[in-house]
């Protein structure tokens, strides 16, 4: 049997990876494969076609008749002439394409897209059916020993294929016109009538919230893969379907809803210079960082889009740009590439993701913009005046709409969704609280979102969820939200001054899932960037907890983030004392020697350097006892980043000086600090 191996799920719609049989294929193999292909196409008879019903049915019917012909040849054991083999080879290629086309027309979630591409689909059917007719022009039917009835059927199919009128179904055309009329209304700032929307969804048999959500997810996938010229139309259709999902369906059938963004907030989470690595426009990892005339750094694709839109000011500072020159920030680019390598991030995927998110700074089309504004007002109204179920649905819609879309976030924030979401945090309904805090997490990625959360007293509400949330899920999401809020320098102090914040994060690290522990660690890291919070974090017993994670966890990212926090706390005298009292140098040495993460190595060196600087000769003496440390430090000087290399060289100098002093008979000095500690 002739087959091409590929993943149906990964195949782009309207892409037909058909394979032409090789010239040396045996007639029996070719015929057998044609029979299987025909049977597969026949199986589509039971599939649902929301559009292209007549064209699909006719294609399946014709190939079903030809299946009888192929089986007749096989059963009689006929010897095929050369021209028949050529015909069957062409049919094999064409049948593959027909199968792909039928797969697309019946694809779940693609109903609206197939409808709006009706002309293209009809053209595909027309070309493929005509190709079938052309292939039969070279088939010597009269010289083949098949029964007359089968021969008549084959001749009839060939004749019909040549003369078939393959056109857009009038009902499909009517539905397509209605969608276009709705998009036109959106563009003019007019809300469409409910009944028009309902008619379109009924025609496509989109009957539930989940059905609608599948359409949205499919359109989002197309949008990611699309060329720039297709973005406006895809954005308009996305706006149309999102508006329908919010307005038409009163309930969310959660058992089928996509909950993947809820399970674990791993998107948040790496605390290796998070502010420096994220573009202020897209809030995502920068791939090609460039600096503008004000000295601010942005990802190239994001700032270019900003400038192309006619803006003449710096997005972050508001200062007027003296010129539009973009200077590559090569040092930062190297650090980001190293960060990707250390954390197992695919740079190709990250480039693509960053480009795609950068597209969402501005709406993809006027229709999409107005649709988003309308539905933002709907969900904001439901958050305030709706029933408990409507409020829950509105919160869930926000968390989906705000996910990875900057324009959506801004519309939802402007519609006033944050204050009522903060009120929902005190709900005794588990689902409502989880959806509300998850929605706030998404909105807190936006600069205005952070500001409104704080101005409305949201910090204490979020900390209350972190401390007393109904579910562990809600607590973990609250920690992730605190991480984002702590990216604003002035908010770190405010968050840390709430008595319950740091103890609650420490409790989450103790009790949470690996994801919860990671959220807790990076949230504390964000808070520790403000020096005034460090003592509170140390007093909460964080250092022994971090050392336990480093010693026992099998999650590399969690270990690296724990090392980063530990390195920050080690800069304080009390942090150094706690690390030394825990006799942790052998553990840190083992990680330095075993980890493959450059970031992890740098954090280990930072911990040693801070401890030796704050702890004096007694700490240096402990480190100097392990002769293997020096080789690891030399390795960092050659293979590490510029900053890591600098720290390693400083530590090497300390160790050399200590050895020189010791060999001259002066011995090691005691701590100069008032408190003496046991370090080994």
Shared-domain flag, residues 240 and 304: no
Question: Is 640 in contact with 606 (CB distance < 8 Å)?
Answer: no
DSSP string, 314-380: -TTT-PBPS----EE-HHHHHHHHHHHHHTT--HHHHHHHHHHHHGGGS-SSHHHHHHHHHHHHHHH
Q: Is 608 part of a structural domain of the chain?
A: no
Q: Is 648 part of a structural domain of the chain?
A: no
Q: Supply the DSSP symbol for 553.
A: -
Q: Is the pLDDT of residue 212 over 50?
A: yes
* pLDDT band at residue 225 using 50, 70 and 90 as cut-offs: confident
Shared-domain flag, residues 348 and 368: no
Point out the domain boundary residue: 168, 183, 204.
168
Q: Identify the pLDDT of residue 674.
A: 34
Q: Identify the pLDDT of residue 543.
A: 95
State the burial class of residue 309 (Cβ atoms within 10 Å of its Cβ: 0-12, 13-18, 19+).
exposed
CATH number of the domain encompassing residue 343: 3.30.40.10
Please write the tens of the pLDDT for every residue from 563-577. Answer: 999 999 999 999 999
Shared-domain flag, residues 40 and 137: yes
Percent of the chain with pLDDT over 70: 88
Residue 110 to residue 113: CA distance in whole angstroms:
5
Task: Compute how many other C-beta atoms are within 10 angstroms of the C-beta atom of residue 606.
Answer: 22
Question: Is 368 in contact with 236 (CB distance < 8 Å)?
Answer: yes
Per DSSP bridges, beta strands 289-291 and 297-299 are: antiparallel
Point out the domain boundary residue: 120, 145, 168.
168
Q: Identify the pLDDT of residue 100.
A: 96
- Summarize the confidence of residues 33-54 as an average pLDDT: 95
Q: Supply the DSSP symbol for 288.
A: S
* pLDDT band at residue 217 using 50, 70 and 90 as cut-offs: very high
Residues paired with residue 291 on neighbouring β-strands, in sequence order: 297, 327
Question: Among 102-116, 268-282, 317-331, which range has the highest average pLDDT?
Answer: 102-116
Q: Is 88 part of a structural domain of the chain?
A: yes
Shared-domain flag, residues 76 and 147: yes
Buried b (16+ CB within 10 A) or exposed e, 132-144: bbebbeebebeeb
Per the structure block, which two tokens stand in for 656? 């050399």
Q: Is 224 part of a structural domain of the chain?
A: yes
Shared-domain flag, residues 301 and 405: no
CA 19 to chain centre: 33
Percent of the chain with pLDDT over 90: 56
Q: Is 129 part of a structural domain of the chain?
A: yes
Flag the least confident range among 78-82, 441-445, 616-620. 78-82
Residue 486 to residue 566: CA distance in whole angstroms:
18
What is the residue-averaged pLDDT of the chain?
86
Q: Is 208 part of a structural domain of the chain?
A: yes
Q: Supply the DSSP symbol for 45.
A: G
Answer positive or negative: Cα dihedral of 191, 196, 199, 203.
negative
Q: 504 versus 274: which is more confidently predicted? A: 504
Q: Supply the DSSP symbol for 386.
A: S
Residue 37 to residue 444: CA distance in whole angstroms:
52
Shared-domain flag, residues 51 and 159: yes
Please write the tens of the pLDDT for every residue from 82-134. Answer: 888 888 899 999 999 999 999 999 999 999 999 999 999 999 999 999 999 98
Q: Is 558 part of a structural domain of the chain?
A: no
Point out the domain boundary residue: 400, 431, 462.
431
Answer positive or negative: Cα dihedral of 161, 167, 169, 170.
negative
Shared-domain flag, residues 154 and 220: no
Shared-domain flag, residues 333 and 375: no
Please write the tens of the pLDDT for every residue from 389-422. Answer: 999 999 999 999 998 688 999 999 999 999 999 9
Q: Identify the pLDDT of residue 266.
A: 40
The count of structural domains within the chain is: 3
Q: Identify the pLDDT of residue 670.
A: 35
Per DSSP bridges, beta strands 327-328 and 297-299 are: unpaired
Q: Identify the pLDDT of residue 358.
A: 55
Q: Identify the pLDDT of residue 9.
A: 46
**Nearest CA among 126, 106, 117, 113 for reference residue 53:** 106
Residues 6 or more apart in contact with residue 124 via CB below 8 angstroms: 14, 97, 101
Angle value at C-alpha 407, between 403 and 413, nearest 5 degrees: 80
Residue 250's alpha-carbon distances to 207, 376, 599, in angstroms, are 12, 16, 48
DSSP string, 388-405: HHHHHHHHHHHHHHTTT-
- Stated as kind and residue range, the H or E segment containing 299 is strand 297-299
Shared-domain flag, residues 84 and 180: no
Shared-domain flag, residues 35 and 152: yes
Q: 460 versus 663: which is more confidently predicted? A: 460
- Summarize the confidence of residues 163-191 as an average pLDDT: 95
Q: Is the pLDDT of residue 505 over 90?
A: yes
Q: Is 586 part of a structural domain of the chain?
A: no
Q: 501 versus 266: which is more confidently predicted? A: 501
- Summarize the confidence of residues 231-247 as an average pLDDT: 95
Shared-domain flag, residues 280 and 370: no
- Summarize the confidence of residues 326-351 as an average pLDDT: 62
* pLDDT band at residue 356 using 50, 70 and 90 as cut-offs: low
Shared-domain flag, residues 151 and 84: yes
Query: Could you tell me the residue range of the domain that residue 323 belongs to?
Result: 274-358
Q: Supply the DSSP symbol for 129.
A: H
């Amino acid at each position: 049997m002739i087959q091409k191996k590929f993943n149906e799920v990964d195949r782009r719609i309207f892409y037909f990876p058909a394979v032409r049989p090789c010239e040396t294929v045996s007639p029996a193999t070719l015929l057998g494969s044609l029979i299987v292909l025909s049977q597969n196409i026949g199986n589509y008879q039971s599939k649902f076609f929301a559009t292209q019903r007549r064209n699909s049915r006719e294609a399946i019917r014709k190939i079903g008749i030809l299946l009888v012909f192929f089986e007749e040849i096989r059963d009689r054991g006929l010897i095929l002439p050369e021209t028949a083999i050529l015909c069957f080879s062409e049919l094999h290629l064409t049948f593959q394409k027909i199968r792909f086309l039928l797969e697309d027309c019946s694809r779940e979630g693609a109903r609206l897209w197939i409808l709006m591409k009706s002309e293209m689909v009809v053209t595909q059917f027309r070309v493929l059916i005509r190709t079938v007719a052309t292939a039969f022009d070279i088939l010597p039917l009269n010289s083949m020993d098949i029964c007359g009835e089968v021969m008549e059927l084959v001749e009839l199919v060939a004749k019909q294929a040549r003369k078939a009128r393959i056109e857009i179904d009038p009902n499909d055309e009517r539905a397509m016109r209605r969608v276009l009329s709705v998009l036109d209304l959106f563009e003019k700032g007019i809300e469409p009538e409910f009944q028009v929307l309902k008619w379109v969804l009924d025609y496509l048999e989109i009957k539930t919230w989940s059905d609608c959500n599948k359409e949205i997810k499919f359109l989002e996938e197309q949008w990611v893969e699309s060329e720039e010229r297709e973005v406006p139309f895809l954005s308009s259709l996305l706006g149309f379907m999102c508006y329908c999902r919010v307005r038409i369906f009163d309930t969310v059938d959660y058992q089928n809803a996509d909950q993947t963004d809820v399970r674990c907030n791993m998107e948040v989470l790496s605390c290796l210079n998070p502010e420096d690595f994220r573009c202020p426009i897209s809030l995502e990892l920068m791939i090609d960082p460039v600096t503008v005339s004000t000295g601010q750094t942005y990802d190239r694709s994001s700032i270019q889009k900003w400038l192309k839109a006619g803006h003449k000011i710096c997005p972050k500072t508001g200062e007027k740009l003296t010129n539009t020159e973009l200077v590559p920030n090569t040092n930062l680019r190297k650090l980001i590439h190293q960060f990707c390598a250390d954390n197992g991030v695919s740079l190709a995927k990250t480039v693509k993701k960053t480009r795609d998110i950068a597209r969402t700074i501005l709406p993809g089309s006027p229709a999409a913009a107005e649709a988003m504004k309308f539905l933002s007002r709907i969900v904001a109204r439901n958050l305030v005046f709706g029933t408990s179920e409507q409020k829950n649905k509105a919160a869930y819609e926000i968390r989906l709409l705000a996910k990875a879309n900057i324009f959506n976030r801004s519309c939802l924030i402007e519609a006033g969704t944050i204050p009522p979401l903060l009120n929902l945090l005190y709900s005794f309904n588990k689902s409502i609280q989880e959806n509300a805090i998850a929605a706030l997490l998404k909105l807190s990625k936006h600069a205005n979102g952070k500001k409104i959360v704080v101005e409305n007293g949201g910090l204490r509400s979020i900390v209350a969820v972190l401390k007393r949330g109904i579910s562990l899920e809600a607590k973990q999401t609250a920690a992730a939200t605190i991480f984002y809020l702590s990216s604003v320098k002035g908010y770190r102090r405010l968050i840390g001054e709430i008595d319950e914040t740091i103890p609650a994060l420490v409790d989450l690290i103790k009790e949470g899932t690996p994801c919860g522990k990671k959220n807790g660690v990076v949230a504390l890291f964000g808070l520790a960037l403000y020096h005034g919070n460090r003592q509170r974090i140390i007093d909460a017993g964080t250092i022994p907890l971090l050392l336990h994670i480093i010693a026992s966890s099998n999650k590399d990212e969690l270990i690296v983030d724990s090392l980063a926090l530990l390195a920050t706390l080690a800069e304080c005298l009390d942090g150094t004392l706690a690390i030394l009292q825990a006799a942790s140098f052998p553990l840190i040495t083992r990680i330095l020697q075993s980890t493959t993460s450059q970031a992890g190595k740098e954090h280990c060196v930072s911990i040693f350097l801070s401890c030796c600087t704050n702890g004096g000769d007694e700490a240096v003496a402990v480190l100097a006892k392990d002769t293997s440390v020096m080789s690891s430090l030399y390795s960092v000087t050659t293979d590490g980043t510029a900053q890591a290399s600098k720290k390693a060289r400083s530590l090497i100098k300390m160790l050399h000086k200590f050895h020189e002093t010791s060999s001259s008979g002066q011995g090691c000095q005691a701590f100069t600090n008032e408190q003496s500690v046991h370090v080994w």
